[in-house]
A and B are shown apart, each in its own frame.
Chain A
Amino acid sequence: MATASLTPSESSDEARLAVFGLSSQIFHDGLRTGTSRAANRSTLALTTSAGTDVYHDGMEDLHRILKPLGWTLIHVEGQPRLRHPDGVVSFTISSGINVGKANARVPRTRKKGKATRSSLAAPELPAGLFDDPQAKIAQAAKRAPFYFLLCERVTDGGSGLILEFAQPAIMTSGGSVNDWKDRITVPFLALEGDLSVFDQPDDDNGIDVPIEPR
């Protein structure tokens, strides 16, 4: 399966995200809290905690940002996805390795479940087949092109997330996705660069030492 452009110019990536009503700014704003929480985990935390932070906080914050724009959170066979109001696209967050890599290396997700597999082989069923509204939504979501917002955490040499918005093509028999129909690079979400937590408060917190002459 051919992969789409991997190193297009930044502006064309943004333009391609804009077609879906998305932007790198939306992704960064949606993922910053979870990434920051992950970066604040001590070495005593479980190794899986950081990934959970990015996933849970990311889905929540992206939902918060996109909901006013008409996006809905739907569940397809247990997998939560954010769906464009017109069904242009649906996506969920996934961790991966080799995210953003060029040349021979392509991103690879961890093992995915039934929802992803059925999305890759979604039958084009006629609308109205289902009476159950939830089933209709799920079916509509299946028809919307399905993407992963791929995230790979970086902790050495600048903490943050490498990102890609990519449409899966094929799952391996083991269940991971390592072939892509479309790949859109999203700029690195750098936590090191976010220095707002070190802004000194504007208010005067000078301390007075009261002295009175006798």
Chain B
Amino acid sequence: MFNPTRLTLARLRLGLTRPKLAAIADVSLRSITDFENNVRPPSEDSLAKLARSLQVTLGFFERDDIRPVPVAAASFRKLSKTTVARRDAVLASAALTLEFFAEIEEHFMLPDPSIPTLDKLSPEQAADLVRHQWNLGERPVSNMLHLLESKGVRVASLNQDHSDIDAFCFYQDAVPYMFLNPSKSAERQRFDAAHELGHLVLHSDVEMEQATSKDREAQANAFASAFLMPSGAVLGQSMSGAGIDRILIARSFWKISAMAMTHRLHELDLLSDWQYRSTCITLSERGYRKAEPGGIVPESSQLLRKVMYGDGSRVKIRDVGKKLELYPTEIGDYVRHLVPLSV
């Protein structure tokens, strides 16, 4: 039986308005509105046209109810710069990604979520406490992605069409989900992952209202900075007034971007305002603002590698696509660059 929520979600995930879909699918706007509002079901012909335009199989429209992840639940970086259509597209795709992880969980027991909620602490205090609770000491986090996965976070890729969105996360049924943008440098992705962890730790009980978005983002940034570069260790590395060469060595040690390292040194008063500005200018001139020359290899997902390529029963993209009534390429997009793919 036709499920109107599926039509709405399929449309939103491609960033289409109803008039746009009407034009693409050659179905009247009135009809699409009726279908989505459950006034009447589409004819077989209309459904075929819509399925083709929305890149889903016919069976997709018969599956259970589905709704985009509520915007109030998700942390968005640069929320103000993200258009509503793009944000809705990402949240609609996220809802489908949850179905992908549900499919994985049918075959595998995944780590239980164990992210502490520390909303009464400052970002720096929270970062130190999480490091302590997770026995990380004051060493660099060897792999942020593996760390998050081991703590029960389900990590997926953001569709690369949404390059203006860095990352976002949310809780669904007490399970934390995180979406990272694989088009960013490895160092940026690590910082984004730590930033989103900051949201999970500090803001899991907070409505993500736009009015307080700036404060939350600043707090998550402070958390990420302190989590990836603990002050106690950085203060013991002779970084006062550090030159570019030493900053680059330090950023490789902490596996962080040179810009983030420089910002951290300024934050810890190890670089004066003038030193900070001149270092940023030099790094920018050398191309470190948009990229990370000499950077690290991007981190990949251990969880997905194990469930897709490990011993025993495996989750195959093609099989999941059939089950979820989606094209395999779309399923591949959920995990692209997190694990090797052949689709």
Q: Once the chains bind, are A159 and B238 in contact (CB under 8 Å)?
A: yes
Are B310 and A197 in contact, with the CB atoms below 8 A? no
Q: Cβ of A205 and Cβ of B139 under 8 Å apart? A: yes
The answer to whether B108 touches A207 (Cβ under 8 A) is: no
Among A58-66, A119-127, A150-158, the stretch in contact with B: A150-158
Cβ contacts under 8 Å, B242 to chain A:
159
Task: Tell me, in angstroms, the Cα distance from A200 to B255 when the chains sit together.
Answer: 11
Select one of A197, A207, A209, A212 contacting B142, CB under 8 A. Answer: A207
Q: Are A40 and B143 in contact (CB under 8 A)?
A: no
Does A129 count as interface, using CB distance less than 8 angstroms? Answer: no
Q: Tell me which of B111, B150, B243, B252 contacts A192 (CB under 8 A).
A: B243
Complex: how many Å from CA A212 to CA B111? 9
Q: Which A residues from 177 to 214 make CB contacts under 8 A with B?
A: 191-192, 194-195, 197-198, 200-201, 205-214
**B105 to chain A: closest residue by CB:** A214
Query: B240's contact among A155, A207, A210, by CB below 8 Å, is which?
Result: A155
Q: Which of B107, B240, B250, B307 contacts A159 (CB 8 A)?
A: B240
Out of A39, A195, A200, A209, name the residue touching B306 (CB < 8 Å): A209
* Contact of A36 with B by CB under 8 A: yes
| A211 close to B238 (CB less than 8 A) | no
Q: A1 at interface (Cβ–Cβ under 8 A)?
A: no
User: In the complex, which residues 44-74 of chain A have their Cβ closer than 8 Å to any Cβ of chain B?
Assistant: 44
**B270 and A42 contact, CB distance less than 8 A:** yes
Q: Are B253 and A211 in contact (CB under 8 A)?
A: no
Residues of the B chain whose Cβ atoms lie less than 8 Å from the Cβ of A211:
108-111, 303, 306-307, 310
Q: Are B243 and A41 in contact (CB under 8 A)?
A: no
Q: Which residues of B contact A214 (CB under 8 A)?
A: 106-109
Q: Which bracket fits the contact residues of A?
A: 20 to 34
Given A42-B269, A201-B139, A209 and B111 touching (CB < 8 A)? yes
* Closest-CB distance, B53 to chain A (whole angstroms): 37
| B183 interfacial by beta-carbon distance below 8 Å | no
A residues less than 8 Å from B108 (CB atoms)? 211-214
* Contact A43 to B270, CB < 8 A, known contacts A197-B238, A213-B107: yes
Residues of chain B within 8 A (CB-CB) of A194 are 238
Contact yes or no, A207 B143, CB < 8 A? yes
In the complex, are the beta carbons of A213 and B253 less than 8 A apart? no
Chain A: minimal CB distance from B306 (Å): 5
Closest chain B CB from A39 CB (angstroms): 4
Q: Are B149 and A209 in contact (CB under 8 A)?
A: yes
Minimum C-beta distance from B242 to chain A (A): 8
* 0 or 1 for each of A26-44: is its CB under 8 Å from B? (1 = yes): 0000000000101111111
Residues from chain A with Cβ under 8 Å of B253 in the complex: 198, 200
Bound together, the chains give a CA A37 to CA B292 distance in angstroms of 30
Q: Which residues of A contact B240 (CB under 8 A)?
A: 38-43, 155, 159
A197 and B269: CB pair below 8 A? no
Contacts of B140 in A (CB 8 A): 200
Residues of A within 8 A of B313 (CB): 213
| B109/A43 in contact, CB under 8 A | no
Q: How far is the CA of A44 from the CA of B110 in the complex (A)?
A: 47
Is B249 in the interface zone, CB < 8 Å from A? yes
**Cβ–Cβ contact B249 & A195, under 8 A:** yes
Q: Is B294 an interface residue (CB 8 A)?
A: no
Q: How far is the CA of A207 from the CA of B141 in the complex (A)?
A: 10
- Closest partner residue, chain B, to A201 (CB atom): B139
Inter-chain contact A207/B146, CB cutoff 8 Å: yes
> Which residue on B lies nearest to A36, using beta carbons?
B238
Partner of B237, one of A157, A158, A198: A198
| Complex interface: chain B residues within 8 A of A200 (CB) | 140, 253
A100 to B312, CA, bound (A): 70
B268 contacts chain A at the CB level, 8 A cutoff: yes
- The distance from the CB of A103 to the nearest CB of chain B, in whole angstroms, is 27
Chain B residues, Cβ within 8 Å of A198:
237, 249-250, 252-253
Residues of B close to A208: CB separation below 8 A: 146, 150, 302
**Contact digits for B132-175, partner A, Cβ 8 Å, 1 yes 0 no:** 00000001101100110110000000000000000000000000
Contact with A along B185-210 (1 / 0, CB 8 A): 00000000000000000000000000
B residues in contact with A212, CB < 8 Å: 108-109
Instruction: Identify the 9 closest CB pairs spanning chains A and B, nearest first.
Output: A42-B269, A207-B146, A212-B109, A198-B253, A209-B302, A209-B149, A39-B238, A211-B306, A43-B269
What is B's interface to A at a CB cutoff of 8 Å? 106-111, 139-140, 142-143, 146-147, 149-150, 235-243, 245-246, 249-250, 252-253, 268-272, 302-303, 306-307, 310, 312-313
17 other A-B residue contacts (CB within 8 Å) besides A206-B143, A213-B312: A38-B240, A39-B241, A40-B238, A43-B271, A44-B269, A156-B241, A159-B240, A191-B238, A194-B238, A198-B250, A205-B139, A206-B146, A208-B146, A209-B302, A211-B108, A213-B313, A214-B108
